[in-house]
C-alpha cells in the first residue's frame, strides 16, 4: 500500500503525516508513506485542498487534518 500526504509543509500537513504514520504503526501494517510538497505536483494530481491524503492514488481526505482513529478505519478498509 502506498500512502501519500499532500501539502506544502505547513503545520497542518506535518500533523497529517504524523497521524498517518501513527495509524500505520497502531495497525501494524506495512505501507510506504511519502509526502508531496511540490504545489505544481499537487495541482497536477487534481487536488485543490490541502492537507490531503491519497491511498494508492485515490484521494481519501482533503482540506483537513484527519484523526488517527479515522485514518485507521480508512486504512483497514483497503
Partner 1 sequence: MRVFKVILMWFLLLFGLFYLIYPRITHHPLTPIFHYGNLKDYPFLLIPFVYTASYLSRAWGVFIFAFLLGGVISSFFPKEKMRNALSGKKKTSYILAALFAPFLTVCSCAMIPVFGGILMAGAGIGPAVSFLLMAPASNILALVFTAQIISGKLALARFIGAFFGAVITGYILDKTPWGKKEAEKYGKLVAQRVEEGEERNFQEKSIDALQDALDLARKALPYLLLGVALVSYVEAYLPREVVARYLTGLKGVVLGAVIGVPMYTPTLVEVFLVKALINLGMSPGASLAFLIGAPMASIPSMLGVSRIISPKCVITYAILAILMGIISGLIYTMVFRTF
**Cis peptide, bond prior to residue 66, ω within 30 of zero:** no
Identified catalytic residue from 3, 6, 13, 71: 13
Is residue 37 a contact residue for partner 1 (CB under 8 A)? no
Identified catalytic residue from 1, 8, 10, 18: 10
Is residue 62 a contact residue for partner 1 (CB under 8 A)? yes
Residue 25 or 49: the one with the smaller Cβ distance to partner 1 is 49
Is 35 annotated in the active site? no
Residue 9 or 26: the one with the smaller Cβ distance to partner 1 is 9
Which residues are within 8 A (CB) of 28 and not within 5 positions of it... i.e. 6 or more apart?
Answer: none
Q: What is the spatial distance between Cα 40 and Cα 21, in angstroms, rounded to a whole number?
A: 24
Residue 53 in grid coordinates: 491524503
So which residues are the catalytic ones?
10, 13
Amino acid at each position: 500500500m502506498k500512502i501519500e500526504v499532500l501539502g506544502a509543509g505547513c503545520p497542518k500537513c506535518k500533523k497529517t503525516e504524523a497521524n498517518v504514520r501513527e495509524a500505520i504503526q497502531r495497525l501494524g501494517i506495512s505501507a510506504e508513506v511519502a509526502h508531496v510538497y511540490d504545489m505544481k505536483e499537487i495541482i497536477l494530481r487534481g487536488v485543490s485542498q490541502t492537507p490531503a491524503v491519497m491511498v494508492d492514488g485515490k484521494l481519501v481526505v482533503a482540506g483537513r487534518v484527519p484523526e488517527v482513529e479515522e485514518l485507521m478505519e480508512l486504512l483497514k478498509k483497503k
